[in-house]
A and B are shown apart, each in its own frame.
Chain A
Amino acid sequence: MPWLTIAVVLPLLGAALTVALPSSLRAAPQVIALSAAALSLLALLVTVARFDPGAGMQLVEEARWIPSLDVAWRLGVDGMALALCLMSAILFLAAIAYGVGPRPLGRTAAALLLSLEGATLAFFLAEDFFLFYVAFDLTLVAMYFLIALWGGERKRYAALKFFLYTLIGSLPVLLGIIALSLSADGAPTFDMIRLADERPIAGSGLGASLVFLAFFVGFAIKTPIVPFHTWLPAAHVEAPTAGSVLLAGVLLKLGTYGLVRVNLQMLPDAFATFALPVALLGLLSVLYGALVALAQTDLKRLIAYTSVNHMGYVVIAVAAAASAGISPEARALAIDGAVLQMLAHGLVTGALFFCVGFIQTRTHTRELGALGGLMQPMPVYGSLIALAFFASLGLPGLAQFPAELQIFLGAFEAWPAVAAVAVIGIVLTAAIFLRALQRAFLGETPERWTGLPDLDRRELVALLPLLVLVVALGVYPRLALDLISSGSWLP
């Protein structure tokens, strides 16, 4: 059975089905969306059972599509792709369970969420550049409409900015893809497995550097790496809760996944030349993201900026792995850490954006100054968000700790100074979250918040699985590391 294709196609079929059904069936979109997302996750779990962590790229499924361009429906998995797909499928399930817009989930919302899921999974599983790019841009369109239709007050501005910025990023990627495909031996090809094996653009001359930079700019905007991050606050803040969860939890990983899959695997020579500048941009993201987050009083903006910080570690790790002369052990350590950090950040930030959404629907504010003492009326909520805060600041025993530890160990071999300075970021995030915890959840409860209801079942269903995984990955990171095993697929 083509399980990967099934995992990608099920959400897309679900999307088509929700649109095709008459609007009189009010509960149908919700049921279809949940089942499609659950079945898609099931197909991925079957893939885990069939997966051999030591075998690198595997389980490739291929079907004819556009033979005259050597474009095909090519899907395949390695540890990174599979781990990210699982994380995404879980986040999508949670986001669909929580919903967007009016309850139960409307037709348009269900169709958009499912298309976004199909496109995301296709992106991670794609081993064909045509499909890779199609999926990359489709995520854009679906997210544009999610923000534009159900976002906050400045939703139009935020949606437009998101679409424009990410299109600015994706088009250089397209040029890079064309350049790579034209430079393949023999006829042009979009086959990513072949291009990763043959690496037709070797060396670090002007041509290779331009292709490298084209991809880098695209993925840097998506990640986002400072100074390409300016679209992020508006989009994250204005998006509806489930939209922010998916944007930060899943879509940011498209950028770092691309950095590893394309820049590191297909253009290693050029990356080696640019490794230090890229690492420094990563370091800048770590520090800048943390400092700006420290200055925020809006809880959602605060969390949005910590994403810049956390993704910065991933960038440092990937750059360290690309640097010349790094030992294979440190390299595997760095990339394992980077992928684990992508998983951990997806789960933790997803949980955090859910938490912000829960409080916003109750209090209609996200200002730290206006909140306060929320632990009293909402003990369950308070404890869970505290857990998410601790996970996000890298407390041992929670998912981001092993990830960041591995990243520092890997990066230390390449550039001790960079790794040392990056640790400051951890201190800063600790300050950010402890301060937020104090101001919003501890202390006196203002009169107007005393009657707030605690989390209801729907909210718990969305939030708890994520936090369970955060603890599981923190206590037993091998759960993911054995799957990722980057040593088997890195060049």
Chain B
Amino acid sequence: MKMTVADMKAMEERMIGDLPWLSPIGALVLAAVIAIVLALVLPRRRQGLVGAWVAGAHLAAAALAAAVWMDRGFARVLEGTVMVDGLALTLTGIVGIGGALCVGLARPMLAGTDREGEFYAVLAASSLGAVVLGSAADAALLAIALGLLSLTSFIMTGYLRHSERGNEASLKYYIYGTVAGAVMVYGLTFWFGIAGTTDLAAVGRAVAGAPDAVVIASTALVVVGLAYKASLVPFHFWTPDVYDGAPLPVAAYLSVLPKLAGLIALARVLPTALPDGAVGWPTAIAILAAVTMTLGNLAALAQSNVVRLLAYSSIAQAGYLLMGVAALSGSPQGIPALVYYAIAYAVTNIAAFAVVIAVQRERDSVDLRAFAGLGRRHPWWTATLILSLLSLVGIPPLSGFVGKLEVFSAAIDAGQAWLAAIAVVNTVISLFYYLRVIAPAVLDAPDDAPPATTAGRPLNAVLGLATAATVVVGVAAEPLLWLAERSVPLAIS
């Protein structure tokens, strides 16, 4: 197809008209670009300002997402490649707020290191990749977003240049990531072959005429890339090593934002490219969910390193989240359940990591023994630990409970009651290892350890905010349930 000058002009005008829709994404682009400039011009002791800028820009992205939602509603923009709909805008909100919280988690660790400003810039770029991944309605854009997200994640993981484990983790993540990304691109080329275009909606129209074997094989390949981001079994092997090797604030970030972006991308891509549950993908995803939660929970049982425990816990949580994806073609509750669970999981997991980071800074260890006697030394940290871990179990009235209620309802409503039953068994298993962290913190006497320290202001603020959110999102669930019900993808055909 040849474009005339007039065509190009028209396209340019359309794209300029689209810009207001893209303002939340624009905020993240600016966050990264200006952060690089600031990092260059500011002296080392002022690099904290770059963090403040990036955190502020994240919050601005979330605010702009809300503004776009209320003022303009939803649209498909940039020649149909980017969806600005409830699902995308809510993801932008999660990434904006979650990203800002992660900056707070990272600041005490980064203060005074030599590339502090650059770290924030990379984090902003990573958030950009996460938002675009969840908004993409086009195969090529999907691949680019995955690439951006992966690349920035490798860099953050290896931030501490002199940490051998950090470098190893980064390399491991890099190898897994590039292979998974390449596999996904390979799958997308099949879709391109089927539809003759990278537009996912066009793939959705064309699959009915394509041979089932090709559709199944290509879909499986595409799922690999996103499943790796979401650390679904069996693409999860990198997770514990990377979380354990990476700086802990980076592990917190990876356990929430890229994971949720991958899951939300799955929830958008699968029903768009394979409408009406074509080739039985909902059942396949349901099985993947069951396997992911079960293996994640069983592996977590054996951990005595709390970061590895949280890594396996986050794998198991991805399984519960995936229940929403599995249910979305059989029940209108599927997507709202996924979105609500995602919000609850984001605040809860950030709260849990905040305590682990605080303990690690004081005791220089994340072994279970480092948590012994935490209750006497730091009652507030312990409150956060108990509330966040019980929320991950799904104990009411915490946010994790309402999340479980939602995904269980969605599964039962979609005719996947067996998956809900497996999730129930898993919940019981998970209680066992979460209590392994809570029990020594509450019951043991503190051993002779260095005197109690404070966590540093940004970390304390994140600890308090995330804990409050863990409780409030559950007790006052109505506003977020209202939001989740409207956070559905815009219908495209």
B40 interfacial by beta-carbon distance below 8 Å: no
Instruction: For the complex, give the distance between the alpha carbons of A171 and B417 in Å.
Output: 13
CB proximity of B469 to chain A, nearest CB, Å: 17
CB atoms of B395 and A175 under 8 A apart: no
Instruction: For the complex, give the distance between the alpha carbons of A474 and B442 in Å.
Output: 43
CB atoms of A178 and B409 under 8 A apart: yes
B220 interfacial by beta-carbon distance below 8 Å: no
Q: Which residues of A in the span 422-450 have a Cβ within 8 Å of any Cβ on B?
A: none
Instruction: For the complex, give the distance between the alpha carbons of A42 and B302 in Å.
Output: 50
| Residues of chain B with a CB closer than 8 A to A65's CB | 478
| Residues of chain B with a CB closer than 8 A to A472's CB | none
Instruction: Assess A164 versus B432: contact at CB under 8 Å? Given A149-B442, A149-B443, A182-B409.
Output: yes
Instruction: For the complex, give the distance between the alpha carbons of A156 and B443 in Å.
Output: 9
CB atoms of A163 and B431 under 8 A apart: yes
B188 interfacial by beta-carbon distance below 8 Å: no
| Residues of chain B with a CB closer than 8 A to A134's CB | 396-397, 401
Instruction: Assess A175 versus B442: contact at CB under 8 Å? Given A65-B478, A137-B396, A167-B431.
Output: no
Instruction: For the complex, give the distance between the alpha carbons of A140 and B431 in Å.
Output: 12
Summarize A's interface: helix, strand, loop or mixed: helix
CB atoms of A174 and B405 under 8 A apart: yes
CB proximity of B487 to chain A, nearest CB, Å: 13
Q: How many residues of A contact B (CB 8 A)?
A: 30
Instruction: For the complex, give the distance between the alpha carbons of A69 and B403 in Å.
Output: 13
Instruction: Assess A160 versus B409: contact at CB under 8 Å? Given A141-B395, A148-B442, A171-B428.
Output: no
A20 interfacial by beta-carbon distance below 8 Å: no
A67 interfacial by beta-carbon distance below 8 Å: yes
- Stretch in contact with the other chain, from B117-125, B203-211, B419-427: B419-427
| Residues of chain B with a CB closer than 8 A to A171's CB | 424, 427-428
Summarize B's interface: helix, strand, loop or mixed: helix
| Residues of chain A with a CB closer than 8 A to B432's CB | 160, 164
CB atoms of A179 and B390 under 8 A apart: no
CB atoms of B424 and A172 under 8 A apart: yes
CB atoms of B442 and A160 under 8 A apart: no
CB atoms of A179 and B412 under 8 A apart: yes
Instruction: For the complex, give the distance between the alpha carbons of A239 and B280 in Å.
Output: 51
Q: Which residues of A in the span 167-193 have a Cβ within 8 Å of any Cβ on B?
A: 167-168, 171-172, 174-175, 178-179, 181-182, 188
Instruction: Assess A178 versus B397: contact at CB under 8 Å? Given A164-B431, A164-B432.
Output: no
CB atoms of A137 and B424 under 8 A apart: no
A138 interfacial by beta-carbon distance below 8 Å: yes
Nearest residue (CB) in A for B410 is A178
B485 interfacial by beta-carbon distance below 8 Å: yes
CB atoms of B412 and A182 under 8 A apart: yes
Nearest residue (CB) in A for B393 is A167
Nearest residue (CB) in B for A169 is B428
Nearest residue (CB) in A for B406 is A69
A25 interfacial by beta-carbon distance below 8 Å: no
| Residues of chain B with a CB closer than 8 A to A188's CB | 409
CB atoms of A178 and B424 under 8 A apart: no
Instruction: Assess A66 versus B420: contact at CB under 8 Å? Given A167-B427, A168-B428, A182-B412.
Output: no
Contact of A66 among B435, B442, B443, B478 (CB under 8 A): B478
A133 interfacial by beta-carbon distance below 8 Å: yes
B439 interfacial by beta-carbon distance below 8 Å: yes
CB atoms of B428 and A178 under 8 A apart: no
| Residues of chain B with a CB closer than 8 A to A167's CB | 393, 427-428, 431
| Residues of chain A with a CB closer than 8 A to B435's CB | 160, 163
Instruction: Assess A175 versus B478: contact at CB under 8 Å? Given A138-B396, A160-B435.
Output: no
CB atoms of A178 and B405 under 8 A apart: yes
CB atoms of B412 and A160 under 8 A apart: no
CB atoms of A160 and B439 under 8 A apart: yes
A68 interfacial by beta-carbon distance below 8 Å: yes
Instruction: For the complex, give the distance between the alpha carbons of A145 and B438 in Å.
Output: 10
CB atoms of B478 and A68 under 8 A apart: yes
B320 interfacial by beta-carbon distance below 8 Å: no
- Of listed A65, A68, A138, A164, residue having the most chain B CB within 10 A: A68
| Residues of chain A with a CB closer than 8 A to B401's CB | 134, 137
| Residues of chain B with a CB closer than 8 A to A68's CB | 478, 481-482, 485
Nearest residue (CB) in A for B482 is A68
CB atoms of A175 and B408 under 8 A apart: yes
Instruction: For the complex, give the distance between the alpha carbons of A61 and B414 in Å.
Output: 34
| Residues of chain B with a CB closer than 8 A to A156's CB | 439, 443
Nearest residue (CB) in B for A207 is B417
CB proximity of A117 to chain B, nearest CB, Å: 17
CB atoms of B481 and A69 under 8 A apart: yes
Instruction: For the complex, give the distance between the alpha carbons of A138 and B421 in Å.
Output: 22
B413 interfacial by beta-carbon distance below 8 Å: yes
CB proximity of B319 to chain A, nearest CB, Å: 16
CB proximity of B425 to chain A, nearest CB, Å: 8
| Residues of chain A with a CB closer than 8 A to B420's CB | 175, 178
| Residues of chain B with a CB closer than 8 A to A179's CB | 412, 417
- 16 inter-chain pairs at a CB distance below 8 angstroms, sorted by A residue, are A65-B478, A68-B482, A69-B481, A133-B396, A134-B396, A148-B442, A148-B443, A156-B443, A167-B428, A168-B428, A172-B424, A175-B412, A175-B417, A178-B408, A179-B417, A181-B409
* Across the A-B interface, the 3 shortest Cβ-Cβ residue pairs: A134-B396, A171-B424, A66-B478
- Given A167-B431, A178-B408, 8 other A-B residues pairs in contact with their CB atoms under 8 A: A68-B478, A148-B443, A164-B428, A167-B428, A174-B424, A175-B412, A175-B420, A182-B413
